[in-house]
Amino acid sequence: MTETVTTDDGARLWTSRTGRGRPLVLCHGGPGLWDMFEDVAAMLADLATVVRWDQRGCGRSERSAGPWTTDRFVADLDAVRRHHALDRMVLLGHSWGAQLALSYALAHPERVAALVYVSGTGIDPVSSWRGPFEENFLARLDEVPERLARWRELPDGDRERAVLHWTVEFEDRGRALQHAERMADPWFGINHECGRALNAETKRTWGTPGLHAACQALDLPVLIVDEERDIRPRRAVDSLERALPNVTRVTLPGAGHLPWVEDPKGFRAAVAAALG
């Protein structure tokens, strides 16, 4: 069920393949995190052959020195596709992974049957949504003041700090800590160097006229899966929806940033439609 993919520059990537049916490749969030899609793969096992992978230098993939660029990660994703002998695939990305999946589709549209864009932040500049997101983040973490205080005193890279950070992603505040603990089990450590480099690249390159023009020319079906209670302003995604010529947008009410956790039925139905 798990296989190692070796890229053209020798990096070793962890991958997993389960289920049967139309090929569906998942791109996890971050950047600098690892695949947390085990429940999603199980949810869709009767609908698709699901391929998961840990991005370069992250999770169960070989720790490496980069390079940490979108072009390199797009090439890594194509190495995963080739290794699993996929001619065309449905590509699903979540959060940062949605941006990576979109970047891959723009680079190789002939290899993507459909794109499922989950919990992304659109194609306008990062500055258009980052401020409100940070305000929402602090307000939600401060709902339990001791969590905010503890989060502030812990160092970057600490598991407890990451768990407290992730509690903000869930609308069900009573179960937020439980859900965040599940995200951190197993714990592989966050690759902060990777995250910083890719986030800096996004600030430089996202929101350009060229990106908007490329999305306007993207000739494949795209499903945007939104969550009503994501703390990232959902208006940020309007920029992508306006640009795409063949797009459907589904909003899941009452769900936070990880919709398969808080609305599994709605999430499965949306992805099933894209697979169909």
pLDDT at site 1 = 86
- What pLDDT score does 232 carry? 96
Residue with tokens 């949605």: 98
Q: Are 83 and 5 in contact (CB under 8 A)?
A: yes
Question: Distance between CA 92 and CA 86 in Å, rounded?
Answer: 15
pLDDT exceeds 90 at position 79 = yes
3-state secondary structure 150-218: HHHHCCCCCHHHHHHHHHHHCCCCCCHHHHHHHHCCCCCCCCHHHHHHHHHHHHHHCCCHHHHHHHHCC
Q: What angle do CA 238, 256, 267 make, to 5 degrees?
A: 80
Please, is 50 exposed, middle or buried when counting C-beta atoms within 10 Å of its C-beta (0-12, 13-18, 19+)?
buried
**Segment 232-249, tens digit of pLDDT:** 999 999 999 999 999 999
Read off the pLDDT of residues 201-230 as tens digits, 9 standing for 90 and up: 999 999 999 999 999 999 999 999 999 999
pLDDT at 50: 98
- Give the CA distances from residue 51 to residues 3, 16, 25, 240, in Å, rounded to whole numbers and listed in that order: 10, 6, 5, 26
Q: Average pLDDT of the chain?
A: 97
Interval 28-42 mean pLDDT: 98
pLDDT of residue 207: 96
Question: Residues 18, 83: contact at Cβ < 8 Å?
Answer: no
Q: 237: which 2 tokens?
A: 């995604």
Q: What does the pLDDT average to over 71-89?
A: 98
- DSSP-derived pairing of the beta strands 2-6 and 12-19: antiparallel
pLDDT for the residue 238: 97
Q: Tell me the percentage of the chain whose pLDDT exceeds 70.
A: 100
- pLDDT of residue 190 exceeding 90, the answer is yes
pLDDT above 90 for 64: no
pLDDT at 102 over 90: yes
Q: What is the mean pLDDT of residues 70-97?
A: 98
pLDDT digits (tens, 9 = 90+) for 246-270: 999 999 999 999 999 999 999 999 9
* 3-state SS class at 85: coil
Q: Do 88 and 105 touch, CB atoms closer than 8 A?
A: no
Which CATH number does the domain 2-125+192-275 belong to among 1.20.1440.230, 3.40.50.1820, 3.30.70.260, 1.10.287.610? 3.40.50.1820
Domain boundaries, the chain: 2-125+192-275
pLDDT at 74 over 90: yes
Q: Which two tokens stand for residue 27?
A: 């791109």
